[in-house]
Amino acid sequence: MRQAEFLDIVLPFKDKVFRLAKRLLVSHEEAEDATQEVLMKLWSKNDQMQQYKNVEAFAMTMTKNYCLDKLKSKQASNLKLVHSNYEDSKVSLQRQIELEDSIDWMHKIIETLPEQQKMVIQLRDIEQYDYDEIAEMLDMKPTAVRVALSRARKEVRQQLLNKHNYGVS
């Protein structure tokens, strides 16, 4: 496969790879490194790309595995889940502060979820993958993905309601 064909295939989902890496790793720089590493691995498998029915799902799986390996390594002892894709410039200062507070609480709540639920929320609610694609990426059945997502959303919702209604953290 030529470089132009490779770029046509990979560029449309490069940002999704980065966002998933950023969700799992602590910093922008770590996510960039992970994205570059995944793209380099894809390039090294350039000749075999036609055998994959869904290159995007394969790349997301590679990203997930790379990031989880990095998190398990000794050098990653200080890494944590971070995500900051939410911005709305047309709100009042008070509303903006409230939104930022809610987003901060969402981050904290999502951090407490089991790893599988974190991944499912990222892939479904942030990256907008369908259940079958998530199932393929995470090596799960689609029904298990739905159950994990439902449980994760329920837990996030409950904890946010507790925080907003009662100030309970």
Return the CA Rg of the chain: 18
The rounded Cα 13 to chain-centroid distance in angstroms is 13
Q: Give residue 154's identity as a one-letter amino acid code.
A: K
pLDDT by residue, tens only, the chain of 169 residues: 566 666 677 777 888 888 888 888 867 888 898 888 888 888 787 777 667 677 888 888 888 888 888 877 745 454 444 444 445 456 578 878 877 887 888 888 888 899 899 989 888 887 888 899 899 889 999 999 999 999 999 998 888 888 777 765 5
pTM of the entire structure?
Answer: 0.54
User: Which pLDDT belongs to residue 145?
Assistant: 93
Q: Which domains does the chain have, with CATH numbers?
A: 1-79 (1.10.1740), 90-169 (1.10.10.10)
| Strand, helix or coil for residue 159 | helix
Are 117 and 109 in contact by the 8 Å Cβ rule? The answer is no
75: Cβ–Cβ under 8 A, 6 or more apart, which residues? none
Distance in angstroms (rounded) separating the CA atoms of residues 109 and 118: 10
According to the model, what pLDDT value does residue 144 have? 94
Confidence (pLDDT) at 168: 56
